[in-house]
């Protein structure tokens, strides 16, 4: 209480004009603190949640469109579209890794025969690799004859050494 009395005594000792200036400055400081402590964090939080919601809504839209496409493809009976089967496996693997977005992770590609190749992929997304292998089998008839997979330090990523062959 003593500090409050000292502040009141100090305030009473000011001239009228100085009192008005102190009140105006106090009001500005209080409004600024309210804005910085309460309003801005709430506004930023709402904006962030809105962006997250929009991102999730976009993903949902994409997934629903992809589901329709999958159903359409299944209904059309397209299961074994093999193309470019006369090209060497190593060439098809190189092309398909580029298309699948795995080219930056492809460390080694070695042709064993026209119908086989050995590859090494490091730190690639496991899901992305599975989709790529499925594409290789469906489009080119290339299958995995042997594989060694190790978990990478990055979440969801794997290091792979495998041998691919075309039947």
Q: Look at residue 108 in the predicted model and tell me its pLDDT.
A: 95
Q: Look at residue 83 in the predicted model and tell me its pLDDT.
A: 59
Q: Look at residue 113 in the predicted model and tell me its pLDDT.
A: 85
Q: Look at residue 133 in the predicted model and tell me its pLDDT.
A: 93
Cβ-based neighbours of 11, under 8 Å, separated by 6 or more: 19, 22
Q: Look at residue 117 in the predicted model and tell me its pLDDT.
A: 95
| Cα–Cα distance measured from residue 103 to residue 81, given in angstroms and rounded to the nearest whole number | 23
| Cα–Cα distance measured from residue 123 to residue 160, given in angstroms and rounded to the nearest whole number | 8
Q: Look at residue 69 in the predicted model and tell me its pLDDT.
A: 82
Residues (pLDDT < 70) of the chain are 77-85
Helix 89-100 / helix 126-135 crossing angle, nearest 10 deg:
130
Q: Look at residue 67 in the predicted model and tell me its pLDDT.
A: 87
Closest to 90 (Cα-Cα) out of 62, 65, 67, 113:
113
How confident is the model over 42-78, as pLDDT tens digits? 999 999 999 999 999 999 998 998 888 888 878 776 5
| Cα–Cα distance measured from residue 166 to residue 86, given in angstroms and rounded to the nearest whole number | 10
Q: Look at residue 85 in the predicted model and tell me its pLDDT.
A: 66
Ramachandran assignment for 101, one of left (phi > 0), alpha (psi -120 to 50 degrees), beta (any other): left
Q: Look at residue 62 in the predicted model and tell me its pLDDT.
A: 87
Q: Which residue has the tokens 């290091």?
A: 159
SS3 of 13, please?
coil
Q: Look at residue 147 in the predicted model and tell me its pLDDT.
A: 95
Closest to 129 (Cα-Cα) out of 154, 153, 155, 149:
149
What is the percent of the chain with per-residue pLDDT over 70, rounded to a whole number?
95
């Amino acid at each position: 209480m003593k500090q409050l009395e000292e502040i009141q005594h100090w305030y009473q000792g000011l001239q009228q004009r100085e009192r008005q200036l102190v009140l105006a400055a106090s009001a500005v400081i209080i409004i600024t603190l309210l804005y910085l402590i309460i309003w801005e964090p709430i506004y930023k939080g709402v904006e962030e949640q809105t962006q997250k919601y929009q991102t999730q809504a976009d993903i949902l839209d994409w997934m629903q469109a992809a589901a329709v496409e999958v159903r359409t493809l299944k209904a059309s009976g397209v299961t074994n579209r093999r193309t470019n089967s006369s090209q060497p496996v190593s060439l098809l693997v190189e092309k398909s890794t580029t298309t699948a977005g795995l080219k930056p992770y492809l460390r080694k590609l070695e042709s064993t025969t026209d119908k086989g190749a050995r590859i090494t992929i490091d730190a690639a997304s496991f899901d992305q690799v599975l989709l790529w292998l499925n594409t290789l089998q469906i489009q080119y008839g290339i299958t995995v004859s042997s594989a060694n997979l190790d978990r990478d330090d990055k979440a969801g990523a794997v290091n792979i050494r495998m041998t691919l062959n075309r039947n």
